[in-house]
Amino acid sequence: MENFNYIRPAKVADAAKAMKKAKDGKFMSGGMTLLPTMKQGLASPSDIIDLSGLKNSGVKVGSKSVTIQAGTIHADVAGSKDLKKAIPGLAKLAGGIGDPHVRHKGTIGGSVANNDPAADYPSACLALGATIHTSDRKLAADKFFTGMFSTALKDTEIVTAVEFPIPKKCGYAKFPNPASLYAMVGVFVAQLADGSVRVAVTGAGAGVFRVPEMEAALSKKFAASSLDGIAVKSKNLNSDMHASAEYRAHLITVMAKRAVDAAK
């Protein structure tokens, strides 16, 4: 790993400033993606701006929405009693990310900012219609995730929180890559407060995506059987040695059904 300057600002504004000054800076939250990437030599930032000094952690459940501070670790999201009541599917998702040690460091902010095509959170954001709060603005999840490892974030922009509307019910089903434990296919299904249904898929494509056919079917009747015979076309799905595009397409339907069955 190449060396770098290390800065741990206490304020969001200072962090943004430090980033502006840096030649090729990187924000770091839990470092659970950034550090492995750097150890492999795939990134060598000049400066690491550690956001842990911001101390913005916590899950706050309101009447209509839940706001999770960007610096909240996965373990705290998974363990939040309030969240388990308000959006149980989201707590369950967080509890299934990586392993306990990863969940002790990795953060929701880091995860959404990174937008790994195999990450879990982006599916919840998209399915629940979350709003991403940043240092500069608020962005709907539909606008935020723009493709593989890419988001609408500008270089100096910092994710500060993610706000999730409380749905009627939701569920998440993940088929982990057996080696890495990342999502090979993950499907988040939500029946929102207004009765509409959203289905978001992670792990299977270049980035998280919604499945309109499934949403339409589930809007009519929110039951796993509504998804019989509905499959995502394999054409644009990922294919690797662990799962061909066809297998992923098949798993999307299976996982979507399981997510519906699990929805609370």
Partner 1 sequence: MSETGTGIGARVKRKEDQRFITGKGNYTDDINLPKQTYAYFVRSPHAHATIKSINTAKAKKMPGVVGVFTGEDVANDKLGGLICGWMIHSKDGSPMKAGPHPVLAQGKVRYVGDHVALVVAETKELAKAAAAAVSVTYAVLPHVVDVADAMKAKAPVHDVAPDNRVFNWSIGDEAATDAAFKNAAHVTKIDLVNNRLIPNAMEPRAAIGSYDTGTESYTLYTTSQNPHVARLVISAFHGLAPEHKLRVIAPDVGGGFGSKIFIYAEEVACVWASKHIGGRPIKWTAERSESFLADAHGRDHVTHAELATDANGIITGFKVHTKAAMGAYLSTFASCVPTYLYATLLSGQYAIPNIYAEVDAIYTNTAPVDAYRGAGRPEATYVVERIVETAARELKIDPAEFRRKNFVTAFPHQTPVIMCYDAGDYAAALDKALEMSEYSSFGERKSAAAKKGKLRGIGLSAYIEACGIAPSAAIGSLGAGVGLWESAEVRVNPVGTVEILTGSHSHGQGHETTFAQLVSDRLGVDINNVSIVHGDTDKVQFGMGTYGSRSGAVGMTAISKALDKIEAKAKKVAAAVMEASADDVEFKNGTFTVKGTDKKMAFGEVALSAYVAHKFNSAEIEPGLKEGAFHDPSNFVFPAGVHICEVEIDADTGVTEVVSYTAVDDFGNIINPMIVEGQVHGGIVQGIGQALAEGCVYDKDSGQLLTGSYMDYQMPRAADVPNFKLAFTCTPCPSNPLGMKGCGEAGAIASPAAVMNAVTDALGLRDVAMPATPQTVWKAMQPMKKAAE
Partner 2 sequence: MPAITMKVNGQAVCGDVEGRTLLVEFLRDKLGLTGTHVGCDTSQCGACVVHVDGKAVKSCTTLAIACADSEVTTIEGLAKNGKLHPMQEAFREHHGLQCGFCTPGMIMSAVDLVKRNGKKLDDETIRHELEGNICRCTGYQNIVAAVKAGAANM
Ligand X SMILES: Cc1cc2nc3c(=O)[nH]c(=O)nc-3n(C[C@H](O)[C@H](O)[C@H](O)COP(=O)(O)OP(=O)(O)OC[C@H]3O[C@@H](n4cnc5c(N)ncnc54)[C@H](O)[C@@H]3O)c2cc1C
Residues binding partner 1 (CB under 8 A)? 1, 3, 175, 178-180, 241-244, 247, 250-251, 254
Q: What is the sign of the dihedral through the CA atoms of 191, 192, 198 and 203?
A: negative
**Does residue 112 belong to the site contacting partner 2 (CB under 8 A)?**
no
Per-residue contact string for residues 13-52; x = within reach of partner 2 by CB under 8 A: ------------------xx--xx-xxx-------x-x-x
Q: Which does 52 bind (CB under 5 to 8 A by kind): partner 2, partner 1, ligand X, none?
A: partner 2
For residue 132, which amino acid is it?
A: I
**Does residue 182 belong to the site contacting ligand X (CB under 6 A)?**
yes
Q: 214, 252 in Cβ contact below 8 A?
A: no
**Does residue 4 belong to the site contacting partner 2 (CB under 8 A)?**
yes
**Does residue 156 belong to the site contacting ligand X (CB under 6 A)?**
no
User: Least distance (Å) from ligand X to the CB of residue 171?
Assistant: 17
Q: Which does 26 bind (CB under 5 to 8 A by kind): partner 1, partner 2, ligand X, none?
A: ligand X
**Does residue 3 belong to the site contacting partner 2 (CB under 8 A)?**
yes
The one segment of 96-104, 130-138, 144-152, 206-214 that binds partner 2 by CB under 8 A: 96-104
**Does residue 34 belong to the site contacting ligand X (CB under 6 A)?**
yes
For partner 1, the closer CB: 10 or 241: 241
For ligand X, the closer CB: 161 or 218: 161
Q: Which does 63 bind (CB under 5 to 8 A by kind): partner 1, partner 2, ligand X, none?
A: none
Q: 151, 113 in Cβ contact below 8 A?
A: yes
Token pair, residue 83, equals 């969240």
Binding to partner 2 in span 169-198, by CB under 8 A: 180-181
Angle at 170 between CA 236 and CA 131, to 5 degrees: 75
Token pair, residue 110, equals 């880091």
Q: Which does 29 bind (CB under 5 to 8 A by kind): partner 2, ligand X, partner 1, none?
A: ligand X
**Does residue 119 belong to the site contacting ligand X (CB under 6 A)?**
yes
Q: What is the DSSP string of the chain?
A: ----EEE--SSHHHHHHHHHHSSSEEEESS-TTHHHHHHTTS---SEEEEGGGG----EEE-SSEEEEETT-BHHHHHH-HHHHHH-HHHHHHHHTSS-HHHHTT-BHHHHHHH--TT-SHHHHHHHHT-EEEESS-EEEHHHHEEETTEES--TT--EEEEEEEPPSEEEEEEEE-TTT-SEEEEEEEEE-TTS-EEEEEESSSSS-EE-HHHHHHHHH--SGGGGTT----STTS---SS--HHHHHHHHHHHHHHHHHH--
Interacting residue ranges for ligand X, rule: CB under 6 A: 26-34, 36, 51, 70, 97-98, 102, 105-107, 109-111, 113-114, 116, 119-121, 153, 158-159, 181-183
Interacting residue ranges for partner 2, rule: CB under 8 A: 1-6, 8, 31-32, 35-36, 38-40, 48, 50, 52, 75, 98-102, 104-105, 180-181
